[in-house]
Chains A and B, each alone.
Chain A
Amino acid sequence: MLEVTDLTVQYGAVRALGGVGLSVDEGSVTAVLGANGAGKTTLLRTISGLLRPRAGRVELDGRDLTRMPVEDIVRLGVAHVPQSGGVITELTVEDNLRLGGLWRRDRAALARRVAEMYELFPPLAERRARTAATLSGGERQMLALARALTGAPRLLLVDEPSLGLAPRVVAQLMAVLRRLCDEDGRTVLLVEQNARSALSVADRAVVLDLGAVVAAEDAAAIAADDRLRHAYLGF
């Protein structure tokens, strides 16, 4: 479904990604793993159009996204949940949620999906009229994920959802991602530093180091590879 070929991204003179390629199958969870500075976030930001690559291509179902504006990529059904969620703290929980699905013109469907999100994440329902600034870290991550889902995306890009969350909350989030894939048929590209929990839900995994792919295999195979685990994944 998503095909990244030979992607090179630079920040000035610093090369963040050097010729990265990966492919994501429809209806799967793919984890992108690696240490700080490996280029994971850069990869996601380039896919969603926030960064322009120096070279290489990003294709969604054969369509070139590389020069497309962010707003148009969203309209192809790609939702990006940025690091630490990126909820807009000045807006209410409800406004944050609605914002995620506003680009779809169908207001009745939007209201229905917002209601579904309140069912899926009950803590959000209790705080719907409060500003997002009053939410805890875990609740913000929930809100960010729910906001992405109100747009009913086909491909979900999730950047380090585990950051700063308690292990129990992380496990719940990972389970939700797995369910989105299994039950709703959504495709998930999950960037994680917390390799152990990401591998527990992923079908496939790609390991990045210093802006290059060092491994791309089934998640189980990567979890079983002692050399990879010690060298790049830290467990």
Chain B
Amino acid sequence: MVRFINLTLAGITSGVVFAAVALALVLIWRATRVVNFAQGAMLMFTTFLAWSVIDAGGSYWLALGVALASGLVLGAVIERVVVRPVENKPPLNAVIVTLGLYVLLQAAAGMIWGDTPHSYPPAFTIKGLSVAGTRLLLSPFDLFVIGAVAAVMVLLTLLFVRTDLGLRLRASAFAPEIARLQGVRVGRMLTLGWALAALVGSLAGVLIAPSVFVGPAQFDAMLVFGFTAAVIGGLDSPAGAVTGGLVLGCALSYVSGYVSSDLVTFGALAALITVLMVRPNGLFAASTGRRV
């Protein structure tokens, strides 16, 4: 029982990080109908920037701030410069562009920082908490990870649901032409959407960095797991992305704990296939024929 609880706790911790990456993918998909294959490379790059701050003697919190701010800027610049020309073009164009961006960012990171992975410090101790003499697989840092992702999700939800800016963002995502006819500057909203998505991705990068280390190719798995989580959730639903992340995190944790840690990637595939067999459009897909 303790083992099950521990595996679940570990699953939730990694699940919230998958959820953050999935959310970044879903935000972009909803706004621009682009699957951002460069998301893993983008968060790798911003995590490297954060690492540089720490390497130069900066504090953890300064580094986190740098990662988030650079994420915002990177997302906005990428949308404006390379994604804007392929919006409303055949989907394959955007796929090629984001794949190219992935290669570019990875190569650039290798040139700047080298290919050897560096360690990244956690904000708090990663020693598990003890409850009634039992050591749990849940450390103060894990609590921070869960809290940070939850806080960002609450803030994003408030932004989208409670503010006029959020209304503009949602309108631009659902019906760009109609939104323009209401005077919404849709171009700016798409840029902002990418910036927010990249910010969430950057947070995920910094939070997972202590366990995967920081290197040009260290975050590739994050894209795979984040994408899997997003698809489990239906790709179109932020709530689905979060649920998908948690489901995937727990599933992978059970696979690695009860079966073998070598089978984790296989576990992700199994979770994806199982969900898609039961609900082909994902767990949170709206009813079909929604678009009018």
Contacts and interface: CB of A to CB of B under 8 A. Distances in A.
- Residue from A50, A75, A87, A95 having most chain B Cβ neighbours under 10 A: A95
Contact of A100 (B180, B182, B292): B182
A46 interface: no
B174 A88 contact: yes
B167 A99 contact: yes
Contacts of A90: 170, 174, 290
Given A89-B290, A90-B290, A95-B167, A103 B183 contact: yes
Interface string A87-113: 111110001001110110000000000
B182 A75 contact: no
Bin chain B's interface residue count: 10 to 19
A156 B181 CA distance: 12
Given A50-B177, A90-B290, A151 B171 contact: no
Interface string A141-185: 000000100010000000000000000000000000000000000
A74 B174 contact: no
Interface string B161-194: 0001001101100110111111111100000000
A87 B171 CA distance: 10
Given A99-B171, A102-B168, A88 B183 contact: no
Given A71-B183, A102-B184, A86 B178 contact: yes
A103 B189 CA distance: 14
B180 A71 contact: yes
Contacts of B180: 50, 70-71, 74
A131 B82 CA distance: 35
A209 B266 CA distance: 63
B248 to A, nearest CB: 26
A123 to B, nearest CB: 19
Given A50-B177, A88-B174, A91-B174, A74 B167 contact: no
B174 A75 contact: no
Given A90-B170, A90-B290, A103 B184 contact: yes
Contacts of B170: 90-91, 95
Nearest to B167: A95
Contact of B292 (A50, A79, A89, A99): A89
A70 B175 CA distance: 14
Contacts of A86: 175, 177-178, 181
Contacts of B164: 98, 102
A82 B164 CA distance: 23
Contacts of B292: 84, 89, 133
Interface of B: 164, 167-168, 170-171, 174-175, 177-186, 290, 292
Per CB-CB distance, the 5 closest pairs between chain A and chain B, nearest first, are A103-B183, A74-B183, A70-B180, A86-B178, A99-B182
12 contacts: A50-B181, A71-B186, A74-B182, A82-B181, A88-B175, A88-B178, A91-B167, A91-B170, A91-B171, A91-B174, A99-B171, A103-B183
